[in-house]
Amino acid sequence: MRPGAHAAAAIEVLADLEARRRPVADALKDWGLSHRFAGSKDRASIASLVYDALRRRSSIVWRLGAETPRALVLGALAFTRGLDADKVAALFADSPHAPDALSASEIQALSNSKIDDAPEWVRGDYPEWLDEKFARVFGAERAFEGEALAERAPLDLRVNALKGDRAEALKELSHLHAAPTPLSPVGIRIPLLADGRGPPVQSEPAFLHGLVEVQDEGSQIAALVAGAAPGEQVIDLCAGGGGKTLALSAGMANKGQIFAYDRDIRRLAPLHERAQRAGVRNLQIRSPRGKEDVLGDLSGHADMVLVDAPCTGTGTWRRNPDAKWRLRPNALEARMAEQDAVLDQAAPLVKAGGRLVYITCSLLADENTDRLAAFRERHPGFVPSDMHEAMGQAGLAACESHAAKDGNSLLLTPRRSGTDGFFVAILKRQS
């Protein structure tokens, strides 16, 4: 397939999304199944163009004055990929399977459109209903934060200390131009390919032997700040696929015990194989069993309970640009209720003197500081810990500038830290 045909296919996928309101991955999968002549590279190129169109949907619509799938693809080529109007026009004429030729008005819009006078939510490419919430956190900088969330995310790996060190991993992955991450002492960053994809690191011997795991640098930092120590009793209460579980276990050097739980047993399934590959030996997976309290025997015994709470995922929009346009106010309200519930579930598990670590991949105060304030009203025996101290102990002095003014929490964003968006706070149980 030629690039023009890729553009036509991207328009088809975006039209399907508009008609059926579903995740982009499902639309791309269905397109591939119904167009089996398209090879893997073609499908990857089409997916990359669709994602680029969704990253800057609001600003593209503003510039072109249209919200059609065709306009979104034109905008992705011109404003995300930087092609001038002549190059876009040539691309649309490169084969019989390319979209229709550009009109004079489209060429003019691609050549002369500006965005300087657009509202913040347009320049930042996020839903208008979230503007007030972004303003609360970022103030006049919110459009710039949104722009960073619309960029492509890097490919980051975490070096598994149970299997080796970063120098060894960098050597094994040198052919991928691997480099240390700026902030995490156990992170490696791999350059993306020209089409925005990462190389297939899951097929690399370093991955297959458990030396590295795919994990964003921000997620690595959150696990390091949590500070799971050898010999501790640790509960990962929303373990999911186990990314942070494995990171915590590495920090514990396989000493002590870590218990992984998730209310959705399906999400825990990959952790079994991942833990074996990583060489984790101090892990117990507690799968839900109907109404049975599978964590009841741990009440009041945990040195640390990690709550990687379900959230809106606003901090991960670089990886899931379609998610921001599907997010609705009622979804935020549902996540907040779930966050309150899981924090209340965590509280009795923490022993006196122990700590509760609250993490989200959200940038919204509604899901972060507000939830902790409400939690402390219900559980006054928990008090904030100094994040500067926690980061110092974790060897993350470079992250201290991202702590809140009161020192009670940490907020990472693509613009500020070059990572996915993460919120981290530690509460200590006094009684």
| Residue matched to tokens 């670590």 | 357
Residues with a known catalytic role: 361
Tokens of 325: 């346009």
Instruction: Tell me the helices (H) and strands (E) count for the chain, helix number first.
Output: 20, 12
Bridge-based pairing state of the strands 283-286 and 212-214: unpaired
> Do 54 and 90 touch, CB atoms closer than 8 A?
no
54 Cβ partners below 8 Å, 6+ apart?
Answer: 24, 72, 321, 322, 325
Name which of 52, 43, 58, 51 is nearest 77 in CA terms.
52
Annotated binding residue 308: yes
Tokens of 376: 């402390």
Cα–Cα–Cα angle for 171, 176, 180, rounded to 5 degrees: 60
The runs of H, that is alpha helices, within 279-412 are 321-326, 329-346, 369-378, 387-393
> Do 306 and 248 touch, CB atoms closer than 8 A?
yes
Annotated binding residue 340: no
Binding site per annotation, positions: 262, 308
Annotated binding site for S-adenosyl-L-methionine: 262, 308
